[in-house]
Structure 1
Amino acid sequence: MDALTNMPSLPPLATLATLQPGELPPAPTPDGAGGFGDMFRQALLRVDAAQHEAARQAEAVETGASDDIVGAMLASQEASLSFSMLIQVRNKVMAAFDDLMKTNV
């Protein structure tokens, strides 16, 4: 249980909400001090930025500000795949945690 108490925690949602779309937190240090939490947080913010960009491009096509429908569709698919991949990673981590908790010591 000591390893769980030493894990870095994610910032509050209010802190994440202040970031502008596409803005990422500072990269973790190269020595790996950031940990899995920081890496997952950055992935979450990148997926969020991709979804915002896809929505912006779709809105530009809908309002006539842009005629790049292919680019909007590609951005939408990329955001969708990024979100699906993030959910799969989360599911794998949760399954591994559940397996770990079921392990007899």
Structure 2
Amino acid sequence: MTGIQAIVSQIATQAVEQQQLAASATGAGPADSGGFSEIFRSAMRQTEELDAKAAKSVTGLLSGDGVEVHEAMIATQKAEMAFELALQVRNKAISAYQQMMQMQF
């Protein structure tokens, strides 16, 4: 699961860079524009928690700790959906950043 953690870390880093760029462009400080970054961090934490829960469920299923197959599948699907959402948000943020960089003033 280190691949997911690396991507989550990359997403969080890019979000911070986006916030710093926006803050420097508007003259606002980081404390003034904490809305998006805080929501994004919260979503990343939830994604990591779902990933950990899915890993724990699968491990419990394989070791015979009383985890049912459907519980493991549901946890895995939730983690996958959260990861896909985070990936799409990252892709949209990168796309928006690239569009802004192509603008001419």
TM-score by length of 2: 0.69
- The Cα shift of 1:3 comes to 3.5
Q: Which residue number in structure 2 is paired with residue 34 of structure 1?
A: 34
Question: Once the 2 structures are TM-superposed, how far is the Cα of residue 67 of structure 1 from its aligned partner?
Answer: 3.8
Contact kept in structure 1, 2:47 and 2:83, CA below 8 Å: yes
Which structure 2 residues correspond to residues 16-31 of structure 1 after superposition, within 5 A?
A: none
Which residue of structure 1 lines up, in the alignment, with residue 14 of structure 2?
none
Where in structure 2 are there 5+ consecutive unaligned residues?
Answer: 1-19
Cα distance in structure 2, aligned partners of 1:82 and 1:2: 26
Aligned-pair RMSD on alpha carbons? 2.4
Paired with 2:63 and 2:72, the residues of 1 have a C-alpha distance of 13
Deviation at 1:81, TM superposition (A): 1.1
Stretches of structure 1 lacking an aligned partner (at least 5 in a row): 10-31
| Aligned partner of 1:4 among 23, 32, 51 | 23
Q: TM-score, normalised by structure 1?
A: 0.69
As a proportion of its length, which structure holds more helix?
2
Aligned sequence identity (%): 29
Contact 2:57 2:67 in 1 (8 A): no
